[in-house]
Amino acid sequence: MAVIEGEKVSDIKRLEDIARGIRIDILKMLAEAGSGHTGGSLSATDIVTALYFHKMRHNPKDPAWKERDRFILSKGHAAPLLYAVLARSGYFDPSLLSTLRRLGSPLQGHPNSKSLPGIEVSTGSLGQGLSVASGICLGLRLNNIPARVYCLLGDGETQEGQVWEAAMTAAHYGLDNLCAIVDNNGLQIDGPVEEIMRVSPMNDKWRAFGWNVIEIDGHDMAAILSALDEAEKIKGRPTVIIAHTIKGKGVSFFEGRVEYHGKAPTSDELKRALKELGE
């Protein structure tokens, strides 16, 4: 666990409270839609909360601000998480959250950059996000724009070959404005990641590809902030944060359950979940 001193303690509590509210938003959206991805949205909530409400430079009133930090949700099926964060950040009216996955809604099952402010890239076809993030980093460097790019991947997603092509590219060009984050929750739609296609030892793989590697508890807010700060100080190579998380984190009967990878809560489950989250 990272040690955070003095005034930062109150910021940790603030971020934890925001993350709890975002989990509530996610579950309400999914229950209303009757479909969507519960487990992976909840597992990455603390990470994305830390990015948008602490680390990243961004402006909801000017989503196209050139010097903004960029966030790429490579695991695009966790769109409910991104939508909840963007709404709470002020990118659009939170009332839109109840339209998730409806015909004509800008909140589609996977993020669409053409329909909603704050979405940098349309994602959902797994394995592509890190390539896009690397290209953006190169463009920022060529244009002398001092912005950073954060790319969130799933651990199962790292079974995709394109992830490692992008990893080679980012290291070759020394993209120190790139920070990848692996939501390492151990489960994918078909079962445990290590049984479907083993990705361990993940640390060694990324190091072999030339990356700086940081390993953390992905639900320890202090550790998340510390890792993001450390990543920003690394020069000459990209950084990956391997965040050990729990699928369905925050609701006891969703945690570690592979069946909730792509299953929305029922109305009864929603009531129980909201009670656990203290709404």
DSSP string, 154-199: ETGGGGSHHHHHHHHHHHHTT-TTEEEEEEE-SEETTEEHHHHS--
Pairing mode of beta strands 191-192, 187-188: antiparallel
pLDDT at 114 over 70: yes
pLDDT at 1: 33
Tell me what pLDDT residue 9 has: 73
Q: Where does the pLDDT of residue 7 fall: very low under 50, low under 70, confident under 90, or very high at 90 and above?
A: low
Band of the pLDDT at 151, cuts 50, 70, 90? very high
Strands 239-244 and 212-217: parallel
Write out the two tokens for 235: 């020069």
DSSP 128: -
The whole-number pLDDT of residue 6 equals: 46
Fold of 8-276: Rossmann fold (3.40.50)
What pLDDT, on the 0 to 100 scale, is given for residue 2?
Answer: 38
